[in-house]
Amino acid sequence: MPMRRVSTAGRFAVLLATLVPLAAGCGGGPSPQAWAASVCSALTPWRAEISKLTGSTGEQMTARTTPAQAKENLVRLFSGAEQASETARRRVEEAGIPKAEHGAEVSAGFRDSLAKVRDAYGRARDTVDGLSVGRPTVFYDGVRAAVDTLNKEYDAGALDTSRLSSEELKRAFDEVPECR
């Protein structure tokens, strides 16, 4: 069996692929202020979108539409909230790990919270999507149950910056304009 020669560029690519994750774990992340600004920049549009979608969901619950129309609208709304939550989670992940005490834990906490919220919206979407529209009372009871579950799951996974375990990051969230 002939041996393949690996070019210098190939060896460098392998070395780089090995070292980049190691370097990322060695404190090469953003400052607490830069990280907080990135996180707040990710969360501001997410909060606005979730607020808008929450209002729309409430309207759907009281609007005089057919169950089929309500189902279609609610599935679309929950899907939008799920996507917005994933976008925010991904942007927080892209912000990196802040150079701060407990920075990795705090970053993971934000990502985990957003993932839980994303998943809660996905489950609500799936639940409503699975409801039969043949009996309106049963349908709307199912929607209310799905929204109640969503609210409980949302509250359980909510972001709480007051419980950060890093004084540097608490200070950064209080100081940067993106978080005001």
How much is the pLDDT for 72? 92
User: What's the whole-number average pLDDT of the chain?
Assistant: 82
Q: Is the residue at 36 inside a domain?
A: yes
State which of 53-67, 125-139, 165-179 shows the largest mean pLDDT: 125-139
Residue-number span of the structural domain to which 88 is assigned: 29-179
Q: Is the residue at 54 inside a domain?
A: yes
Q: Is the residue at 13 inside a domain?
A: no
Q: How far apart are CA 111 and CA 132, in angstroms?
A: 34
- Please state the domain count of the chain: 1
How much is the pLDDT for 19? 31
How much is the pLDDT for 14? 31
How much is the pLDDT for 62? 74
How confident is the model over 3-29, as a mean pLDDT? 37
Which residue has better confidence, 28 or 74? 74
SS (HEC) of the chain: CCCCCCCHHHHHHHHHHHHHHHHHCCCCCCCHHHHHHHHHHHHHHHHHHHHHHHHHHHHHHHCCCCHHHHHHHHHHHHHHHHHHHHHHHHHHHHCCCCCCCCHHHHHHHHHHHHHHHHHHHHHHHHHHHCCCCCCHHHHHHHHHHHHHHHHHHHHHCCCCHHHCCCHHHHHHHHHCHHHC
On whether the CB atoms of residues 153 and 145 are closer than 8 A, the answer is no
For 20-71, the pLDDT digits (tens) are: 333 334 457 999 999 999 999 999 999 998 888 888 877 777 777 899 999 9
